[in-house]
Amino acid sequence: MNGLMSLLQQNPQLMQYLMSLQERPFAMGGYIEGPGTGTSDDVDSAIYQNGEKVQEALLSDGEFVFTERAVRGLGNGDREKGAAKMYEMMRQYERMA
């Protein structure tokens, strides 16, 4: 948990976004819990567009899914910049694990 707190302290925009999720009446993104391991892809899921399932998705226990809004927010409105920052954070914290 210390790594997560450090990440949030270093990224106030991400912290602000996550705090805003508490005010929402529905879940969007978040922590994944299910069967298998952290790399087994045993948690069945799906990707929906306009209410229709368009693709199967396999997730792993312990992964975390960010919403598009979070990615865009971290990039100050630019999804590609936000994704680049998230990839860098992911690499940084994977090295620490």
> Do 61 and 41 form a contact (C-beta atoms < 8 A)?
no
> Do 89 and 7 form a contact (C-beta atoms < 8 A)?
yes
Of 62, 72, 67, 74, whose CA–CA distance to 8 is shortest? 74
For tokens 């396999």, name the residue. 58
pTM of the model as a whole: 0.61
For tokens 């979070």, name the residue. 70
Q: What is the pLDDT of residues 9-63, one digit of tens each?
A: 888 887 777 666 555 444 467 888 889 999 999 988 888 777 788 888 899 999 9
Report d(CA 75, CA 14) in Å as an integer.
10
